[in-house]
């Protein structure tokens, strides 16, 4: 096991990793930008070191400064968390070349699976269904039009090396495709450094279902069931649950087997998430694989009892998986609401500022992962996530009731948040019945605004 881990992240995920390391007897080093000097992850780590100014490019994305910090503090491992450099193959490669352990998959895995076209090819060769689309990158608008006319509209024009819901355009006609092609390539280049794009057929009103896997260095791979992430705005998830109310036992087995087949096909090692699009007839198609810890991993932890972060650390240091597939049982139901510093009534405008009053809920089956405290200043430079509110109960209906109570008891004063929206969703009849898809959030927010204006 490592004796000291540098955590190349901030916020709630940095705290989550610190806790896992401490339980394993591992010392931790936090990095921080100048604006994060008073953050909780800085206070809770054994050591902390500043890596730059507030903008991410100068701090949490500054590879040279982060590597230097790890070496200067005597770390022998780096955990990237999620976001920032977590899926940057160049960062992982440099970590490896410096004889440090990257707590995640190899740089080659990140590179291969981060390329959506290559990932689709691997899935297809492994016998995992994929959505109809281009065989590779689409170089010209004329090529794009030819492919789109062949498979039929609507289509998705997607960044080949994209992620986080960026670099995706829904196209409904040839004229729209011609107008959007250069723009999408530019967005891909701006966000990911590569302007390559490809085409997929758009599946109307699907469910977004993902499968959590764990794979060690000895070829052992298990899945931990599915998460339903269909409630999302601008391709950003904000409610997750496990198990999915849409997935029956047959589909659960098929999804789990497909996820494991994909991981085996590329000899994957570490925690990972295989994402699928599932249509209303329960046909499923591979979408992408995330080679990092997911924001929503606590949902799976609650229904399986598996500490995914601990397992990820153990795998990185050559340990066998603690669990077998037969030992994984889904118990009860878990829900997660992401609490963000955004104003849903104002096009989800970010709302940084001072937390003037903070009251966190508690009780049996309630978990909250957050880095907030009273008088904490939410900076404007980073992701808007404030907290993850997670509940667990024997049934889905009981979990929804518990989430309602937890949200009622959560108070964050001083800034705009999405707390009220989450509360209203928990009372929405369609959500309560489990009848929703990826179009739910857009429709719900539109109705919420209309009702507010009446």
Instruction: Tell me the pLDDT tens digit for each residue of 247-266.
Output: 999 999 999 999 999 999 99
Are 292 and 107 a contacting pair, CB within 8 Å? no
Banded pLDDT at 354 (limits 50, 70, 90): very high
pLDDT computed for residue 418 by the predictor: 98
Q: How far is CA 166 from CA 184, 189, 349, in A?
A: 9, 11, 17
Banded pLDDT at 451 (limits 50, 70, 90): confident
Decide if domain 207-453 falls under CATH 3.40.50.10860: no
- Residue 1, pLDDT above cutoff 80: no
Banded pLDDT at 334 (limits 50, 70, 90): very high
Residues 6+ apart with CB under 8 A from 432: 397, 400, 426
Banded pLDDT at 323 (limits 50, 70, 90): very high
Residue of 16, 185, 207, 292 marked active site: 292
pLDDT tens, position by position, 174-228: 999 999 999 999 888 887 888 999 999 999 999 999 999 999 999 999 999 999 9
Q: What does the pLDDT average to over 424-447?
A: 96
Question: Phi/psi zone of residue 272: left (φ > 0), alpha (ψ -120 to 50 degrees), beta?
Answer: beta
Q: DSSP E strands: which ranges in 99-256?
A: 101-102, 155-159, 168-171, 197-201, 207-215, 221-233, 236-242
d(CA 442, CA 231): 9
Let me know the angle formed at the C-alpha of 371 by 366 and 372, rounded to the nearest 5 degrees: 90
Residues 6+ apart with CB under 8 A from 407: 337, 361, 389, 419, 422, 423, 426
**Catalytic (active site) residue 349:** no
Decide if domain 132-201 falls under CATH 3.30.1490.20: yes
pLDDT computed for residue 162 by the predictor: 74
Mean pLDDT over all residues of the chain?
96
Banded pLDDT at 119 (limits 50, 70, 90): very high
pLDDT computed for residue 453 by the predictor: 74
d(CA 321, CA 215): 7
Q: What does the pLDDT average to over 368-375?
A: 99
Using the structure block, give the residue that is written with the tokens 């401490």.
22
Architecture of domain 4-103: 3-Layer(aba) Sandwich (3.40)
Q: What does the pLDDT average to over 29-40?
A: 98
- What counts of helices (H) and strands (E) characterise the chain? 15, 22
Domain with CATH 3.30.470.20 in the chain: 207-453
Least confident range from 32-46, 76-90, 185-199, 204-218: namely 185-199
- Residue 48, pLDDT above cutoff 90: yes
Banded pLDDT at 2 (limits 50, 70, 90): low
Counting residues of the chain whose pLDDT is more than 90, the rounded percentage is 93
Q: What does the pLDDT average to over 41-64?
A: 98
Let me know the angle formed at the C-alpha of 93 by 89 and 98, rounded to the nearest 5 degrees: 150
Report the half-sphere exposure of 338 (CA within 13 A, side-chain side). Answer: 23
Q: Which among 343, 344, 400, 337 has a CA at the least distance from the CA of 367?
A: 337
Q: What 3 state SS string does 8-35 have?
A: CCCHHHHHHHHHHHHHCCCEEEEEEEHH
Domain with CATH 3.30.1490.20 in the chain: 132-201
d(CA 12, CA 339): 12
Banded pLDDT at 163 (limits 50, 70, 90): confident
Question: Phi/psi zone of residue 60: left (φ > 0), alpha (ψ -120 to 50 degrees), beta?
Answer: alpha
Q: How far is CA 203 from CA 112, 121, 226, 280, in A?
A: 25, 19, 20, 10
Residues 6+ apart with CB under 8 A from 142: none
pLDDT computed for residue 454 by the predictor: 66
Using the structure block, give the residue that is written with the tokens 């990257």.
102
Domain with CATH 3.40.50.20 in the chain: 4-103
Q: What does the pLDDT average to over 313-331?
A: 97
pLDDT computed for residue 193 by the predictor: 80
Q: What does the pLDDT average to over 445-451?
A: 89
Banded pLDDT at 165 (limits 50, 70, 90): confident
Length of the chain: 454
- Residue 382, pLDDT above cutoff 90: yes
Dihedral over alpha carbons 384, 387, 392, 398 (to 10 degrees): -70
């Amino acid at each position: 096991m490592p004796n000291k881990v540098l955590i190349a992240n901030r916020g709630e995920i940095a705290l989550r990793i610190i806790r896992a390391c401490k339980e394993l007897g591992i010392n931790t080093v936090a990095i921080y930008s100048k604006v994060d000097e008073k953050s909780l992850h800085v206070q809770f780590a054994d050591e902390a070191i500043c890596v730059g100014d507030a903008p991410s490019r100068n701090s949490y994305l500054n590879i040279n400064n982060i590597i230097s910090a790890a070496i200067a503090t005597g770390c022998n491992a780096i955990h990237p968390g999620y976001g920032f450099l977590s899926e940057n193959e160049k960062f992982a490669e440099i970590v490896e070349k410096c004889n440090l352990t990257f707590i995640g998959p190899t740089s080659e895995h990140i590179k291969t699976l981060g390329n959506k076209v290559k990932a689709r090819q691997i899935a297809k060769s492994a016998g995992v269904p994929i959505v109809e689309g281009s065989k590779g990158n689409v170089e010209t608008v004329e090529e794009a039009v030819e492919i789109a006319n062949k498979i039929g509209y609507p289509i998705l024009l997607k960044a080949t090396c994209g992620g986080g819901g960026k670099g995706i355009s829904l196209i409904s006609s040839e004229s729209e495709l011609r107008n959007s092609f250069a723009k999408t390539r530019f967005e891909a280049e701006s966000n990911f450094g590569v302007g390559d794009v490809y085409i997929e057929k758009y599946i109307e009103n699907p469910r977004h279902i993902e499968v959590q896997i764990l794979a060690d260095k000895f070829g052992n791979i298990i899945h931990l069931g599915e998460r339903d992430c269909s409630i999302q705005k601008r391709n950003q998830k904000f409610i997750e649950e496990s198990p999915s109310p849409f997935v029956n036992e047959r589909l659960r087995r098929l999804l789990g087997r497909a996820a494991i087949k994909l991981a085996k096909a590329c000899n994957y090692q570490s925690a990972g998430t295989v994402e699928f699009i599932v249509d209303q007839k329960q046909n499923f198609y591979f979408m992408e694989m995330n080679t990092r810890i997911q924001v929503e991993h606590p949902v799976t932890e609650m229904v399986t009892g598996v500490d995914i972060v601990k397992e990820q650390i153990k795998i990185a240091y050559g340990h066998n998986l603690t669990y077998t597939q037969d030992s994984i049982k889904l118990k009860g139901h878990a829900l997660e609401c992401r609490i963000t510093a955004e104003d849903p009534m104002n096009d989800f405008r970010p709302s940084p500022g001072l937390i003037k009053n903070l009251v966190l809920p508690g009780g049996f089956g309630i978990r909250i992962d957050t880095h907030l405290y009273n008088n904490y200043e939410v900076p404007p430079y980073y992701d808007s996530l404030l907290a993850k509110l997670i509940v667990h109960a024997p049934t889905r209906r009981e979990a929804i009731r518990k989430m309602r109570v937890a949200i009622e008891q959560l108070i964050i004063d001083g800034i705009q948040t999405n707390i009220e929206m989450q509360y209203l969703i928990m009372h929405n009849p369609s959500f309560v019945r489990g009848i929703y898809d990826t179009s739910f959030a857009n429709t719900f927010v539109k109705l919420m605004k209309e009702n507010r204006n009446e």
